[in-house]
Amino acid sequence: MVTENAAAKRRTGTIIVMALLVVLLALISLGVGPVRMSPLKVLETLFGGGSDVYRVIVQEIRLPRTILAVAIGAILGLSGAALQGLLRNPLASPSLFGAPQAAAFGAVLVIALGLADVRSYALPGAAIIMAFLSVFALLVVAGRNAGLLILILAGLAISSLAGAATALAMNLSSNPFVALEIAFWLLGSLEDRSFRHVMLALPFITIGAIILMSQRNALRALSLGEETAQSLGVHVGSLRLIVILGVAFGVGGAVAGTIGFIGLIAPHLMRPLVGYDPARLLVPSALAGAALLLAADIAVRIIPSTSDIKVGVLTSLIGVPFFLYLIMRERRALGGGVG
C-alpha cells in the first residue's frame, strides 16, 4: 500500500536523521570544555591526528563522558518508551514513578554504609535492585489496569519514600566525602567520568536495552489491552516483569545519578514523526534520548555560571515544564481518570 510505504520511509528517514544528529552532538560534546575544538578538529584528533595534548583531552578526558551521555540518554529514552507502552499511557516515565530516586537510594546506601568502593559493580547492582523493587511496588500498589491518577500518586509516594530514605542515609553518614558523593548521585552529572565508569555502566545498559527491545512486539499487541493481548498469546504477567527488569537495568546501570524526564520527553518528540506504535517507537526514542542528554550536557558546559550546573538539574528544569504542558494537553483524559 502506498501510504504504508510512506509511513515506513518516514520512520527510516527519522532514524537516519536522529542518528546523524546524535553523531554531530557527540562531536560537539567532545569539543566543548576549557579547550574548545571544532567538530572537524575533534574528528581528526579522534582518529590519531593533532597534538598529544589534544588527543589526551579528547580520547581520555572527554570521550568517556560523551559515550556515557549517549548510552545513558539512549537507555532513558528507550525505558520511557517501553514503560509508556507497558502502561499504555503517554505520561508514564521512570522518573515520575520514582525509579531513579529508588536507584539513587540503592547507590547511596552502598556508599553510606561503606560497603564498596564508589567505582565498584556493587553500586549499579544495588541501584538496579532498588529500581526494580520500586517499579514492582508501584505496579503492585496501583494494581492492574490502573488509571493514570493512581499511578502518579503511587509514584509520588514511592519517590518520596526513596527520597526520605536517602536523606536518612545522608543524615547518618559522618564522612563528608560520603555526603559529597551522595549529592553527586542525587543531582545527576556526567562530570569526571572515566573509562572505568563506562565499563561499569555499559554492560547493564546493554542488557537493559536488549531486554526491552526483545519485548517490542508484545508491547504492540498490548495496545489492544491486557486481556486481548493474552488471548493473542502474550504472557502479560511475564511481559510486565520483563519490562520492569529492563527498565531497572537501564535506570540502575546509569552511573550518572538521577537524570530525570529524558524518558518522558523522548517518546513524545518522536510520536509525531514515527507514529504511535509502541514497538516502532523504541529505537527513535532511544536516539532522541541520546540527543537530548548530549545537548543538555553540552549546555551545562556552555552556560556561563559561577559553579557547575549539574546536568540532572537542567533536564529537570526543562522536563518539569514539559510535563506540565503534557498534563494540560491530556487534561480531559486525566479528568476522566478522576471521575
Partner 1 sequence: MMDAFLTAHKLSVTLAGREVLHDISLALPRQHLVALVGPNGAGKTTLLRALAGLLPARGAIHVGGDALSALSLRERAKRFGYLPQGHMVHWPLPARDIVALGRYPHGATDPARLSPTDEAAVERAMQATDVTQFSTRPATELSGGERSRVALARVLAVEAPVILADEPTAALDPRFQIEVMKNLRAAADSGILAIVVTHDLGLAARYADMVMVMQEGRLVAQGAPAEALSDEILANVFRVTAYRTGHEHRMIIVPWAGV
235/329 with CB nearer partner 1: 235
For the record, the C-alpha cell of 275 comes out as 507514529
- Nearer Cβ to partner 1 (120/238): 238
Yes or no: say if 22 and 287 are a contact pair by the CB < 8 Å rule: yes
Q: Site map for partner 1, 85-124, x if CB under 8 A?
A: ---x------------------------------------
- Of residues 136 and 276, the one with the C-beta less far from partner 1: 276
Query: What minimum distance in Å lies between the beta carbon of 334 and partner 1?
Result: 15
Shortest CB 96 distance to partner 1, Å:
18
CA distance 117 to 3: 56
CA distance 321 to 199: 34
Residue 1 interacts with partner 1 (CB under 8 A)?
yes
Task: For residue 272, state whether it binds partner 1 (rule: CB under 8 A).
Answer: no
Contact letters (x/-) for partner 1, 221-260, by CB under 8 A?
xxxxx-xx-xxxxxx-------------------------
| Inter-CA distances, 16 with 211, 283, 287, 288, Å | 23, 11, 10, 12
| Kind and range of the H or E run holding 235 | none
- The Cα–Cα gap between 166 and 154 comes to 18
Give the chain's count of helices (H) and strands (E): 16, 0
Query: To which residue does cell 537524570 refer?
Result: 259
Nearer to partner 1, 164 or 232 (CB): 232
Is 214 a binding residue for partner 1 by CB under 8 A? The answer is no
Give yes or no for a contact between 215 and 239, defined as CB atoms under 8 angstroms apart: yes
Question: For partner 1, which stretch binds (CB under 8 A), given 66-74, 94-102, 125-133, 214-222?
Answer: 214-222
Taking a C-beta distance cutoff of 8 angstroms, is the pair 264, 322 a contact?
yes
- Among the listed residues 122, 147, 179, 220, the single contact to partner 1 using CB under 8 A: 220
The count of chain residues that interact with partner 1, using the rule CB under 8 A, is: 28
Answer yes or no: are the C-beta atoms of 252 and 185 closer than 8 Å. Answer: no
Among 223, 286, 283, CA closest to 250:
286
Closer CB to partner 1, 12 or 160, in the complex: 12
- The residue (of 38 and 145) whose beta carbon lies closer to partner 1 is 145
In the complex, least distance from residue 226 CB atom to partner 1, rounded to whole angstroms: 10
Q: Which of 156, 160, 217, 335 binds partner 1 (CB under 8 A)?
A: 217
**Closer CB to partner 1, 107 or 221, in the complex:** 221
Q: How far is the CB of 57 from partner 1 (least distance, A)?
A: 45
Is residue 145 within a helix (H) or strand (E), and if so which, with residue range? Answer: none
Among 4, 51, 171, 332, binds partner 1 (CB under 8 A): 4
Q: 309: alpha, beta or left, given left = phi > 0 and alpha = psi -120 to 50?
A: beta
Tell me which residue of 275, 106, 289 sits closest to 212, measured CA to CA: 289
Instruction: Give yes or no for a contact between 185 and 124, defined as CB atoms under 8 angstroms apart.
Output: no
- Contact set with partner 1 (CB under 8 A): 1, 3-4, 7-8, 88, 217-218, 220-225, 227-228, 230-235, 275-280
